[in-house]
Amino acid sequence: MTSLLTLSTLVCVFCIAIGQLLFKKAASTLPETLSLMALLTNGWLIASLALYGLTTLGWVWILRHAPLHLAYPFMGLAFLIVPTLAWLFLGEPLHWRTLAGGALIMAGVALASTS
């Protein structure tokens, strides 16, 4: 993969991770009794859906230029990025087991993507 394609893939994975944090914020601000109006007026939800939509278009562009077996293993990085960002910005705990599990997932994805 070219440098531009690699960078684009990393940006895409990072945006997916940020989208997860936005979904978490959206979920925490929803009322107990869910309504269509509550969903339509939830700014966190709208932002997360918009980011996911743009990221999906970026992912389609990436897949147009890179084989899936090379691009997809980058998505494994999300298993480490999301908990780390949740720790930094949402105050969620980050345990060594989360990091170790993320490393094992990344190793498994890397192994599965080799021919």
Q: Are 8 and 58 in contact (CB under 8 A)?
A: yes
Listed by start position, the domains of the chain span 3-112
Alpha-carbon distance 77 to 107, whole Å? 11
Give per-residue pLDDT as tens, 2-51.
Answer: 889 989 999 999 999 999 999 999 999 999 888 998 999 999 999 999 99
41-62 tens-digit pLDDT? 999 999 999 999 999 999 999 9
Instruction: Answer yes or no: pTM beyond 0.75.
Output: yes
**Residue 44 has what DSSP assignment?**
H
The enclosing H or E element of 97 equals: helix 96-112
The pLDDT of 61-82, averaged and rounded, is 90
**pLDDT digits over 83-110, tens only?**
999 999 999 999 999 999 988 988 887 7
Closest CA to 113 of 75, 65, 56, 58: 75
Phi–psi pair at 87, nearest 5 degrees: -65, -45
pLDDT at 106: 82
Q: What span, in angstroms and rounded, lies between the C-alpha atoms of 11 and 41?
A: 28
Q: Residue 28 and residue 30: Cα distance in Å, rounded? A: 6
- State the pLDDT at residue 113: 67
